[in-house]
Structure 1
Amino acid sequence: MTNKVIQRLGLLLAAGTGLWGQGSMTVTDAIRKAWVDQAGLKAGQAMVDSRKAEAEGYRDLRLPTLTLQAQGVRTNEPMMAFGIKLNQARIGMADFNPLVLNHPDAIGAYGGSAVLQQPLYTGGRITAARKAGDFMAQAEAASQERRKQETALAVVQAYFGAEVAEQALKWVGDTETWVKGMEDFVGARVNQGLMLESELQRLKAFHAQVDAQKAEVVMQIRSARSGLGLLLGQGPVDGALATPLEPGTPAPAAAPARRPDLVAAELQAKAAGEGAKAAKGNNLPEVGLELGAGTLHHSWSQKGDWTWAGVGVKWKVFSAPDLAKARAAKAQAQAAKDMQIFKEQQAEHETRVAREAVTAAEARYAAAKDALAAAEESRRLREARHKEGLAPLIEVLDAEAAVQGARTLILQSLYELRVSRASLDLATGTPIEGVQP
């Protein structure tokens, strides 16, 4: 086996990023476990819950506001002292004495009030904010679905990358067994004086390369198991992988749903449009209703009570900051629409590329199978000729290197085929490996 083949196989093994945990598990089980236990997706779900809570808050803006206030005061400030007595309903003729008015004694009071405020018209701000909040909550939920599908793709890459590493280790073991058999054969011939000692030394050097390769593969597998454990929300895992690396014939898929990220982009554009309406409403008049009741005590039995009701109109006729905010919100709405268009174009591009990748992977896999069969037959013939003394050992080793190269190629093509199909599912919005959220 040449160093080039070893390097190629090592790079292939590096593509595997994990191995499923305890027991024999399928790729479907792995995907579902990642959806439940991965900390990154848990954080995404927390964002969804946060957006839902914000949306509920925006919906509640149309509800009335009740404010309760309690207070205690002691003062000799002339205006406040007179007003407190008036609110306590205990103004007398003596209180109009200029000396008392100008220099009142300190007075104390305690009491409270209740005020109910109800917005009647706010220039459309409340309605727009409510719609924007709902759209953002829905957009975050759609984004979470997209994150789950992206995680599913990562699990597929890790899962089948681990299978590649496991199969590579098996083939390294086959090569090791083959080398040992060749060493026994060549050693016997050397002892009989039918072969040179250099032939046996060449095999021992080849055997050392296989041992080094085996150590590298073992390291890659351990790294792979740790990587998949990270995706699944746990530590390094072990166990058998039940889903075969070689894919079967894909079943006819139903029409895919719209991609969640495109749904999210559309909802974000709608939310930005409603945000622009809300910002514009800041420059429109608002009408509100206010109901209130208050009391102020001099003592428990001596007090004054009052109520009030009113409808008011407020209009900021000109506010430069609010006008600037309205322009900014309008620009943000346009940016969100343009981003939606771009993401739709990007999705079309990704779908085209993914379809081409699947076609290419299928062709490479078919070619790799033929190459492996040819390499194994060539090795068999050269080994037979070598045993008959008709071919040098170097030709047999070259044939073995060709077999290893063909095995590497078939593992690469299988891995690429499996991942490219999952990538196509992600691009079209089809559930990856048929796993539904």
Structure 2
Amino acid sequence: MRGRINATIALPLLAFLLLAAGPMAGAAEAGPTAEAVTLQEAVAAAKKNNALLQAARADVQVKQGQFKEARSYFIPDIAFTENYSRTNNPVYVFMDKLDQAHFGMADLSIPRLNDPEPLTNFQSKVELTMPLFTGGKLSAAYRATKMGVEAARDRSAFAEGSVVKGVTEAFYGSLLAGQAVRVMEETVKTAESHLQQVDALYKQGLVLDSDLLRMRVFVSDMKQQEAERVADEEVARSYLGYAMGTTRDVRPKGDMVPPESPLPSLESAIQKALAKRGDLLASEIQARQAGAGVKMARADYLPQVGLMASYEQDTERWTKAAWGDNWMLGVQLRIPLFDGGARAGRLLSAKSQEIQAQKALLDQQEKVQLEVKSAWLRARAAAQRVAVTTESEAQARENQRIVALRYKEGLATITDLLDADTTVTAAALTRAKAVHDELVERAHLAWAMGE
């Protein structure tokens, strides 16, 4: 009776442990066409192919374009225009003849002034404009766009770290799922072997039919668990391929070995995150950008001074002797007097955005510290679990060896042996899950620290 009770408890316990290593784990035996990849190869492929990472890199180029545009405002703007016109409008005919240096005494007659003949004019003009004083608006815009490039690069670096974390989780999850499949395959083989032994004993009349039925149910349930683990392995390999940015069939190549490097102190991990994490650095830059936005809004209250210059040639027909030219050089002063409150609205909006960015930065700093602490604690707990489960697995295997010897001597029932085998299976899977968790949590900690 004691052996039957233990078997009844062990069966759902094993099922629970196997389910705990379920779809989030992922990869074992793959088809013959599956491409084997190491963790380094998977990360390299993801950095090259991941769509979100490519989008983050494209954002850097967007900000670089904005920076180049802001820088161009400090350089004179030179443009060439070519205009063609034909008109009999008295005013334009009079002006075009003057521009063409073709005006004569005959053109001053009243009839010709009031009703001139149509005139063709080709106007070639080069214009130069350049701001001389903008109240600091252009300088603030230049600094803001330059900071925008830095922020985009920091966000891109953080996105790359996130991709590495995701690939690492998928890779080790696949390894764990593969190990879960192998554990279940071994469990099924052991259970089938025991079923044959129980069946032989049953035929000899040495065990009850209920023991035989229980063993058959156990074998059937383990086969179902094996099929589920194989399906989980397929799903997990698909997730690995997605994380790598490929549709190819891939499988992880490597072993799950606990990290050898010691866990850094919590204080040093937090300080490193505050100094290096990309999204936090980007938030700090955005807060400074908002300050530049306030300076730009305040500049709207100051006078604007600009330089203007042009050179022009006008002709009725393209010949050397039939054209006139002129030039112009000037300075424009613009003083804003009244705009209905538009400048005040822009200044209020800029100040509010600066406060918003500063508060968001404070929240981000607290969030980063919390993420680092959480990842550090989970990594430490996982390392402790690895040590405990390693010892538990060794004890379970020693217990299996002793029970097997007792069974051969007739001092233990087949149910006792089955319990011992089930305990070994559960202990092996639990240790594998603990190693997986430590590796994944270390990757999560590295991401939280900005590595």
Same fold (TM over 0.5): yes
Tell me whether 157-166 or 104-113 shows the greater mean CA deviation. Answer: 104-113
The counterpart of 2:25, out of the listed 13, 16, 19, is 16
The separation in 1 between residues aligned to 2:27 and 2:349, in whole angstroms, is: 46
Aligned: 1:6 with 2:15: yes
Aligned residue in 1 for 2:154: 142
Residue 151 of structure 1, CA deviation? 1.2
Aligned residue in 2 for 1:307: 327
Residue 321 of structure 1, CA deviation? 2.1
Aligned residue in 2 for 1:272: 290
Residue 170 of structure 1, CA deviation? 1.3
Tell me whether 361-370 or 147-156 shows the greater mean CA deviation. Answer: 361-370
The separation in 1 between residues aligned to 2:305 and 2:26, in whole angstroms, is: 61
Tell me whether 194-203 or 352-361 shows the greater mean CA deviation. Answer: 194-203
Residue 37 of structure 1, CA deviation? 2.4
The separation in 1 between residues aligned to 2:310 and 2:130, in whole angstroms, is: 12
Report the CA distance shift for 1:236/1:72 in structure 2 as closer, same or farther (over 3 A): closer
Residue 275 of structure 1, CA deviation? 2.2
Residue 33 of structure 1, CA deviation? 2.6
Residue 52 of structure 1, CA deviation? 1.4
CA deviations on 1:158-216 (whole Å, 9 max, x unpaired) are: 11111111111111121122112212211221222222344333222211112111111
TM-score by length of structure 1 reads 0.90
Aligned residue in 2 for 1:286: 304
The separation in 2 between residues aligned to 1:381 and 1:226, in whole angstroms, is: 42
> Residue 111 of structure 2 aligns to a residue in which SS?
helix
State whether residues 27 and 243 of structure 1, in contact with CA within 8 Å, keep that contact through their aligned partners in structure 2.
no
Residue 140 of structure 1, CA deviation? 0.5
Aligned: 1:155 with 2:167: yes
Tell me whether 225-234 or 359-368 shows the greater mean CA deviation. Answer: 359-368
Gaps of 5+ in 2: 1-9
Report the CA distance shift for 1:37/1:52 in structure 2 as closer, same or farther (over 3 A): same
Residue 353 of structure 1, CA deviation? 1.9
The separation in 1 between residues aligned to 2:356 and 2:148, in whole angstroms, is: 16
Aligned residue in 2 for 1:52: 64
The separation in 1 between residues aligned to 2:241 and 2:257, in whole angstroms, is: 19
Tell me whether 10-19 or 117-126 shows the greater mean CA deviation. Answer: 10-19
Aligned residue in 2 for 1:205: 217
Residue 325 of structure 1, CA deviation? 1.6
State whether residues 296 and 304 of structure 1, in contact with CA within 8 Å, keep that contact through their aligned partners in structure 2.
yes
Tell me whether 74-83 or 112-121 shows the greater mean CA deviation. Answer: 74-83
The separation in 1 between residues aligned to 2:252 and 2:364, in whole angstroms, is: 39
TM-score by length of structure 2 reads 0.87
State whether residues 227 and 236 of structure 1, in contact with CA within 8 Å, keep that contact through their aligned partners in structure 2.
no
Aligned residue in 2 for 1:371: 392
Tell me whether 144-153 or 313-322 shows the greater mean CA deviation. Answer: 313-322
Aligned: 1:317 with 2:342: no
Tell me whether 96-105 or 218-227 shows the greater mean CA deviation. Answer: 96-105
State whether residues 139 and 264 of structure 1, in contact with CA within 8 Å, keep that contact through their aligned partners in structure 2.
yes
Tell me whether 243-252 or 49-58 shows the greater mean CA deviation. Answer: 243-252
CA deviations on 1:9-66 (whole Å, 9 max, x unpaired) are: 1341211256899665432332233212222212211111221122122111111111
Aligned residue in 1 for 2:371: 350
Tell me whether 319-328 or 178-187 shows the greater mean CA deviation. Answer: 319-328
Which amino acid is the alignment partner of residue 339 of structure 1? A
State whether residues 190 and 196 of structure 1, in contact with CA within 8 Å, keep that contact through their aligned partners in structure 2.
yes
The separation in 2 between residues aligned to 1:128 and 1:217, in whole angstroms, is: 59
The separation in 2 between residues aligned to 1:79 and 1:240, in whole angstroms, is: 82
CA deviations on 1:303-326 (whole Å, 9 max, x unpaired) are: 221111111211222322233122
State whether residues 76 and 106 of structure 1, in contact with CA within 8 Å, keep that contact through their aligned partners in structure 2.
yes
Aligned residue in 2 for 1:435: none
CA deviations on 1:252-308 (whole Å, 9 max, x unpaired) are: 799845222221111111222112212222232111111111111123332221111
Matches within 5 A, 1:14-413: 14-16=23-25, 25-250=37-262, 256=272, 258-299=276-317, 300=319, 301-319=321-339, 320-382=341-403, 384-385=405-406, 391-413=412-434
The separation in 2 between residues aligned to 1:99 and 1:105, in whole angstroms, is: 10
The separation in 1 between residues aligned to 2:383 and 2:167, in whole angstroms, is: 21
State whether residues 17 and 157 of structure 1, in contact with CA within 8 Å, keep that contact through their aligned partners in structure 2.
no
Report the CA distance shift for 1:141/1:373 in structure 2 as closer, same or farther (over 3 A): same
> Residue 15 of structure 1 aligns to a residue in which SS?
coil
CA deviations on 1:100-122 (whole Å, 9 max, x unpaired) are: 32333322211221101121111
> Residue 141 of structure 1 aligns to a residue in which SS?
helix
> Residue 234 of structure 1 aligns to a residue in which SS?
coil
CA deviations on 1:376-410 (whole Å, 9 max, x unpaired) are: 44445555555555555444444444444333432
State whether residues 136 and 267 of structure 1, in contact with CA within 8 Å, keep that contact through their aligned partners in structure 2.
yes
The separation in 2 between residues aligned to 1:426 and 1:398, in whole angstroms, is: 42
CA deviations on 1:326-349 (whole Å, 9 max, x unpaired) are: 221222122112222221122222
Report the CA distance shift for 1:104/1:18 in structure 2 as closer, same or farther (over 3 A): farther
Aligned residue in 2 for 1:434: none
Which amino acid is the alignment partner of residue 174 of structure 1? E
Identity score, percent: 28
RMSD: 2.6
Which amino acid is the alignment partner of residue 135 of structure 1? M
The separation in 2 between residues aligned to 1:230 and 1:93, in whole angstroms, is: 84
The separation in 2 between residues aligned to 1:393 and 1:318, in whole angstroms, is: 97
> Residue 23 of structure 2 aligns to a residue in which SS?
helix
The separation in 2 between residues aligned to 1:2 and 1:9, in whole angstroms, is: 11
State whether residues 37 and 250 of structure 2, in contact with CA within 8 Å, keep that contact through their aligned partners in structure 1.
no
Which amino acid is the alignment partner of residue 349 of structure 1? L
Gaps of 5+ in 1: 432-437
> Residue 313 of structure 1 aligns to a residue in which SS?
strand
> Residue 296 of structure 1 aligns to a residue in which SS?
strand
The separation in 1 between residues aligned to 2:123 and 2:138, in whole angstroms, is: 34
> Residue 338 of structure 2 aligns to a residue in which SS?
coil
